[in-house]
Structure 1
Amino acid sequence: MKKIQLFIFAILISSTSVFAQSDATKKADKLFAKYKFVDAIEAYNKLVEKGEGDAYVYSRLAEANYNIFSTIESEKWYAKALEAGASQPEMLFKYSEMLKANGKYDASNKQMDKFASMRPGDDRAVMYKANPEYLSKILDKGKKFNVQNLDLNSKMSDFGGTLQDGKLYITSSRNASRKNYGWNEEPFLDIYSYTAAEDGSYQGETLLDGKINTKYHEGLTSFTPDGKTMYFSRESFFENIYEKDSLSNTKYSVLHLFKANKGANGFSQVEALPINSQNYSIKNPTISADGSTIYFASDMPGGFGNFDIYKASLDGNGKVGTPVNMGQKVNTEGQEMFPYISDNNTLYFSSTGHLGLGGMDVFYTKEIDGKLAPIRNVGIPINSNGDDFAFRMNEETGEGFVSSNREGGKGSDDIYGIKKLQPLCDVLIVGTVLDEKTGTPLAGALTTLVDAQGNVLASKPANAKGVVEYIVECETGTELQVTMDGYESNKVTIAASNEEEVAVTVSLKPIEAIVTPERVILNPIYFDYDKSNITARAAFELDNLVQVMNKYPNMVIQATSHTDFRGSNQYNQRLSERRAQTTTQYVISKGIAASRISASGRGETEPAIDCNPCTDQDHDLNRRSQFFIISGGPQQ
Structure 2
Amino acid sequence: MKRFLGMLTLVGFICSAEVTYAQVEKADQEFEQLSYSTALELYKKAFEQTKTVPILQKIVECNKRMNRYKDWEAWAAKLIAADNKNPDNYLTYGEALVRNGKYTDAKQSFYLFGRYSSGKLYESQFLQASCDSALYQMNNPQTQATVKSLDILSTPYSDWGLVKYRNGFVFSSDRPWEQKTIDKNSKKLYGWTGRPFLKIFYVESDPEKNSWGTPTLFSDFFNGEYHTAGAAFNERQNTVFFTRTRFVNTPETGTKPVLRLEIFMSEAWKEARAFKHNSILKYSVGDPAVTNDGTRLYFVSDMQGGYGGTDIYYCDMGADGEWGPFKNAGPHLNSKGDERFPTLMNDNVMFFSSNGRIGMGGLDIYRATREKEEWKNIIRLDYPINSPQDDFSLIVTKISGVPENADKIKLEGFFSSDRFDSKGADDIYQFTCVMPQFQKEYYYKGRTINNETGLPITNVTITVIDQASKVSNTYKSNEKGDYEVPLKPNRQYEIIMKKNNYFASKQIFNTGDKLRPDMLQSDLKFDPIVLDRAIRLNNIYYDFNKSTITAESQADLDNLVGVMKENPEIIIELGSHTDSRGDATANLALSQKRAQTVVDYVVAKGVPAARIIAKGYGKTKPLVMCDNTSDCSEAEHALNRRTEFKVTRLKTDMSASK
- Same fold at TM > 0.5: yes
Match in the other structure for 2:555: none
Alignment of 1:451-490 (within 5 A): 468-469=465-466
1:343 aligns with 2:346: yes
Say whether 1:230 aligns with 2:240. Answer: yes
Shift of 1:376: 2.4
Give the superposition deviation at 1:43. Answer: 1.1
What is aligned with 1:27?
Answer: 26
Amino acid at match of 2:24: T
Partner of 1:59: 57
Tell me the equivalent position of 2:274. 272
Aligned to 2:74: 76
1:195-244 per-residue CA deviation (whole Å, 9 max, x = no partner) reads 2236232324231222201232101011122211110001236xxx5549
1:539 aligned partner, one-letter code: F
The Cα shift of 1:191 comes to 0.5
Residue 161 of structure 2 aligns with an amino acid whose one-letter code is G
Tell me if 1:220 matches 2:226.
no
Whether 1:281 and 2:284 are equivalent positions in the alignment is: yes
With over 3 angstroms needed to count, the CA separation of the structure-2 counterparts of 1:37 and 1:500, relative to structure 1, is closer
- For 1:312-365, what per-residue CA distance to the aligned partner results, in whole angstroms no more than 9, with x for missing partners? 223456522323223344333432211122225222222222222222221222
Q: 1:306 aligns with which of 303, 306, 309?
A: 309
Among 423, 428, 435, which residue is 1:422 paired with? Answer: 435
What is the match of residue 563 of structure 1? Answer: none
Matched residue, 2:615: none
Deviations 1:175-198 (A, max 9, x none): 344421111111111111122236
Native 8 Å contact 2:99 2:361 kept in 1: yes
Distance 1:182 1:455 in 2: 62
Alignment-derived partner of residue 459 in structure 1: none
Q: Which one has the bigger helix percentage? A: 2
Q: Give the 5 Å matches for 1:497-516.
A: 499=489
2:358 aligned partner: 355
CA distance in 1, matches of 2:570, 2:56: 66
Could you say which residue in structure 2 is the equivalent of 1:135? Answer: 134
Within the candidate set 485, 488, 502, 1:494 is matched to: 485
The structure whose RCO (Cα within 8 Å, separation 6+) is larger is 1
Write the letter of the residue equivalent to 2:270. Answer: S
Partner Cα distance (2:172, 2:345) in 1: 20
Residue in 2 that maps onto 1:529: none
| SS of residue matched to 2:303 | coil
Can you give the 5+ residue segments of structure 2 that lack an aligned partner in the other structure?
A: 1-18, 178-185, 401-410, 452-462, 503-521, 534-565, 573-643
Q: CA deviation at 1:143?
A: 3.8
Q: 1:196 aligns with which of 180, 198, 205?
A: 205
Task: Report Cα offsets for 1:245-290 as digits up to 9, x if no partner.
Answer: 998x65434110000112xxxx232100110012211111111345
Deviations 1:403-450 (A, max 9, x none): 1111222222111122223347587989xxxxxxxxxxxxxxxxxx98
Counterpart CA distance in 2 for 1:131 and 1:319 is: 43
Indicate yes or no: 2:211 matched with 1:210: no
Q: Residues 128-182 of structure 1: CA distance to partner in whole angstroms, max 9, x if unpaired? A: 4666732244343514432222212222111111103333010111134442111
**2:571 & 2:83 partners in 1: Cα distance?**
62
1:143–1:381 contact (8 Å) kept in structure 2: no
Matches of 2:349 and 2:123 in 1, distance apart? 23
Partner residue of 1:187 out of 191, 196, 216: 196
Range with greater deviation from structure 2 (273-282 or 403-412): 403-412
Do the aligned partners of residues 455 and 298 (structure 1) sit closer, same or farther apart at CA in structure 2, a change above 3 Å counting? farther
Moved more, 74-83 or 497-506: 497-506
The answer on 1:378 being equivalent to 2:434 is no
Give the direction of change, closer, same or farther, for the CA distance of 1:45–1:426 in structure 2 (3 Å limit).
farther
| Residues in 2 aligned to 1:450 and 1:327: alpha-carbon distance in whole angstroms | 31
Q: Deviations over 1:76-102 (max 9, x none)?
A: 222333343376665543322210122
Aligned partner of 2:261 in structure 1 is 255
In structure 2, distance between residues paired with 1:75 and 1:113: 17
Q: 1:320 to 1:21 in 2, by over 3 A?
A: farther
Cα distance between partner residues in 2 of 1:454 and 1:133: 26
Contact in 2 for aligned 1:234/1:256 (Cα 8 Å): yes
> Partners in 1 of 2:308 and 2:52 — Cα distance?
30
Shift of 1:32: 1.5
AA matched with 2:171: I
CA distance 1:414–1:114, change in 2 (3 Å): same
2:466–2:492 Cα contact (<8 Å) kept: no
Distance, in Å, in 2 between the alignment partners of 1:505 and 1:124 is: 28
Deviation (angstroms), 1:538: 6.1
Superposed, 1:380-419 pairs within 5 Å as 380-394=383-397, 396-397=399-400, 398-419=411-432
- Tell me the SS of whatever aligns to 2:428: strand
Alignment match, 1:173? 174
RMSD of aligned alpha carbons:
4.7
| Alpha carbons of structure 1 residues 327 and 344: separation in structure 2 relative to 1, 3 Å | closer
Deviation at 1:501, TM superposition (A): 6.6
* 1:365 aligned onto 2:333: no
Amino acid of the structure 2 residue aligned with 1:60:
K
Question: Closer, same or farther in 2 for the Cα pair 1:223/1:371, shift >3 Å?
Answer: closer
The structure-2 alpha-carbon separation of the partners of 1:277 and 1:502, relative to structure 1 and needing over 3 Å to count, comes to closer
SS of equivalent residue, structure 1 residue 44? helix
Q: Which residue of 2 aligns with 1:326?
A: 329
- Counterpart of 1:179, as a letter, is K
Alpha-carbon distance change, 480 to 86 in structure 1, aligned in 2, over 3 angstroms: farther
Aligned residues, how many? 477
How far apart, CA to CA, are the structure 2 residues paired with 1:412 and 1:213?
21
SS in 1 for 2:215: strand
| 1:159 partner SS | strand
Q: Separation in 2 of the partners of 1:383 and 1:88? A: 31
Mapped to 2, the partners of 1:395 and 1:199 lie a distance apart of 14
Between the aligned partners of 1:480 and 1:120, the Cα distance in structure 2 is 41
**Cα contact 1:288–1:341 (8 A) shared by 2:** yes
CA contact (8 A) 1:44 1:60 kept: yes
Q: Quick one: distance in 1 between partners of 2:446 and 2:41?
A: 53
Residue 298 of structure 2: aligned partner: 295
The farther-off stretch of 413-422 and 85-94 is 85-94
Closer, same or farther in 2 for the Cα pair 1:133/1:209, shift >3 Å?
Answer: closer
Q: 1:386 and 1:131 mapped to 2: Cα distance?
A: 13
Distance 2:450 2:262 in 1: 46
Contact 1:364 1:378 (C-alpha < 8 Å) held by counterparts: yes
Q: 1:405 touches 1:412 (CA, 8 Å); kept in 2?
A: yes
Q: Which moved more, 1:65-74 or 1:314-323?
A: 314-323
Residues 548 and 116 of structure 1: is their aligned pair in 2 closer, same or farther, counting only changes over 3 Å?
Answer: closer
> Normalising by structure 2, what TM-score?
0.62
Give the Cα–Cα distance (whole angstroms) in 2 for the partners of residues 338 and 61 of structure 1: 29
Change (3 A) 1:215 1:548: closer
Could you say which residue in structure 2 is the equivalent of 1:574?
Answer: none
SS, match of residue 265 in structure 2: strand
Tell me: CA distance 1:344–1:429, structure 2 relative to 1, closer, same or farther (3 Å): farther
Call closer, same or farther: CA 1:45–1:549 in 2, change over 3 Å.
closer
